[in-house]
Structure 1
Amino acid sequence: MNVPFYQVDAFASRRFAGNPAAVMVLESYPGDDVLQTIAAENNLSETAFLVPHGDDYRLRWFTPTVEVALCGHATLASAAVVLTRLRPAGARVVFHTLSGALAVERAGDGYAMDFPARAMTPTSPPPWLADALGAVPRDVLADRTSYLVRLDDAGIVRSLDPDLAAIARLDRNGVIVTAAGDDGWDFVSRYFASPIGIPEDPVTGSAHCALAPYWANRLGRRELRAFQASRRGGEIGCRVSDARVELRGRCVFYLEGSASL
């Protein structure tokens, strides 16, 4: 069986930037073990699996090692596939996911995603986390998925070379590291997720569901411009509203074809 396959650079305005995601369009979901095997074969931080669901789509996300409950960049990539390849006349698509219904609509030359905000609470980190990061945290918060660590400045975030083997021992999926922005950005970040098989995620939409409310409260503004300072780099527009976060970004198609399953 051959199925449509796309590789899309999400949160990017040029090819080879942002975060690459695989998007595969299926008629129905096979077993979870099959989906996990396909994601491992694709060997990208996320593979998105789409299945038509009335006028909407069901959407699941897999890293090379696990299924995750929320993924921003692969949702953005999926919206680009639906609204430029599958239903080019459409202006909006709704995905039914483990995190509920997620709506994405066209926004200029990109897309705007309506996501749930993540509430992070102050916590005591593992005592070895500062050594693993190679930097002293100023704030440490967490939810059930990730730690969020604020550092002194953007330069430290950009230059981090953490001990990824140590971070793999975390009791959560990963650690978001952030600081006040530079070069016109409101804040910068990086995300290390070696516990789920992703040493460093290039651009992480789900992390910004936590970062945007955190920085909105610190800066006193609802509209924010964010940069994820990985080697590839990615630009994210954020708008915070009550318990929701709107994330905006662009996509560039890299690969289109079919996969033989």
Structure 2
Amino acid sequence: MNFFIVDAFTNEPFKGNPAGVVLLDKEIPKKLKQNIAKEIGFSETSFVLKKRKEFFIEYFTPVSEIDLCGHATIATFYVLHHLKLLESKKVLLHTKAGKLNIYISEEKIFMEQAQPKLGETIEKEKISKVLNISVDDFDTLPVQKAFTGLWDLIVPVKSKKILLNINPDLEYMKRFNDVASFHVFTLDESNGLCNTRNFAPLYGINEEAATGTANGALFYYLYKHNIVKKDKVYKIIQGESLNRKSEIFVTFDGKIKVGGTAKIIFKGQLLDF
């Protein structure tokens, strides 16, 4: 089995969000996939198997399987495109979150996300204790759950300075076990639509440098709150707090699509088990 280490949502090495990508030539047990993901050690590792002209991907963090991962999907299809293993510019992907279309161009790969929806709002006083910030540090937009394959908690703060200085209580955050992550953002960003940070300690990820699914959920939240327009591509910045700046491109045309480029860093081979 060939495997790759890929930095997603960047065209620079050692920026963006790293993912493991394992190309399967046959099905292997889930326990083995989990052990491989733990050994590789990145926030997510994807395992992709081609059946006829369609692709099936499973995603594993170091501690558990998850339904969908945006940056690992971008990394996977960048590898497949690089190896000339794709037969068309539109590919059907099967995930635990459902069937999704992948769109390939020379510059970027876009993934379609699951049908978006918004969930309940949460009191800012409650979230301020988790993030160790003042209630006055929040933007006027609500703290609200949003979904494009996973439920994320979207948290608006007033400024980039506040965002980059957040030091959350990660153990307290784990008690919110009905969301995959806390996705904190500010519209105070001159080089893009917004700047974000993503915390998912429940899945063994204290902070992630680029999060495709959560930024898709954020974009739908912003669309429903009249901040962004339909059919226009916007750039979201993430990862500056980790010195791994990422650029995530998002649009909504009835479906949320999240995209970007990637950089292959290492290639190797997993021995037979």
Scaled by the length of structure 1, the TM-score of the pair is 0.91
d(CA) in 2 for partners of 1:89 and 1:142? Answer: 37
What secondary structure sits across from 1:36 in the alignment? helix
Given the alignment, which residue of 238, 262, 269 partners 1:251? 262
d(CA) in 1 for partners of 2:251 and 2:185? Answer: 18
1:74 has 2:72 as partner: yes
Question: Gaps spanning 5+ residues in structure 1: where?
Answer: none
d(CA) in 2 for partners of 1:117 and 1:176? Answer: 19
C-alpha displacement of 1:93: 2.8
Q: Which residue of 2 aligns with 1:226?
A: 236
Given the alignment, which residue of 179, 183, 191 partners 1:184? 191
d(CA) in 1 for partners of 2:79 and 2:12? Answer: 17
What secondary structure sits across from 1:116 in the alignment? coil
CA displacement 1:158-217 (0-9 Å, x = unmatched): 221212222222223221111214122111211100011100011000002211112233
What secondary structure sits across from 1:57 in the alignment? strand
Identical-pair percentage: 26
Q: Which residue of 1 aligns with 2:101?
A: 103
d(CA) in 1 for partners of 2:79 and 2:119? Answer: 36
One-letter amino acid of the counterpart of residue 143, structure 2:
V
d(CA) in 2 for partners of 1:81 and 1:125? Answer: 42
Q: Which residue of 2 aligns with 1:140?
A: 143
Q: Which residue of 1 aligns with 2:207?
A: 200
C-alpha displacement of 1:128: 4.4
- The 5 A counterparts of 1:104-143 are 104-125=102-123, 128-135=126-133, 136=135, 137-138=138-139, 139-143=142-146
What secondary structure sits across from 2:270 in the alignment? strand
Pair 1:118–1:233, CA change in 2 (3 A): farther
Q: Which stretch has the larger CA shift, 81-90 or 197-206? A: 81-90
C-alpha displacement of 1:89: 6.2
Given the alignment, which residue of 7, 10, 19 partners 2:8? 10
CA displacement 1:220-243 (0-9 Å, x = unmatched): 42322211144112101111122x
One-letter amino acid of the counterpart of residue 164, structure 1:
L
What secondary structure sits across from 1:227 in the alignment? strand
d(CA) in 2 for partners of 1:158 and 1:201? Answer: 13
C-alpha displacement of 1:8: 0.5
CA contact (8 A) 2:89 2:105 kept: no
Given the alignment, which residue of 216, 219, 227 partners 1:212? 219
CA contact (8 A) 2:124 2:143 kept: no
CA contact (8 A) 1:83 1:90 kept: no
Scaled by the length of structure 2, the TM-score of the pair is 0.87
CA contact (8 A) 1:132 1:166 kept: yes
Question: Gaps spanning 5+ residues in structure 2: where?
Answer: none
Pair 1:180–1:127, CA change in 2 (3 A): closer
d(CA) in 2 for partners of 1:227 and 1:213? Answer: 16
d(CA) in 2 for partners of 1:128 and 1:122? Answer: 14
What secondary structure sits across from 1:155 in the alignment? helix
d(CA) in 1 for partners of 2:268 and 2:132? Answer: 42
C-alpha displacement of 1:96: 1.0
d(CA) in 2 for partners of 1:226 and 1:209? Answer: 10
Q: CA RMSD in A?
A: 2.0
Report how many residues are paired: 258
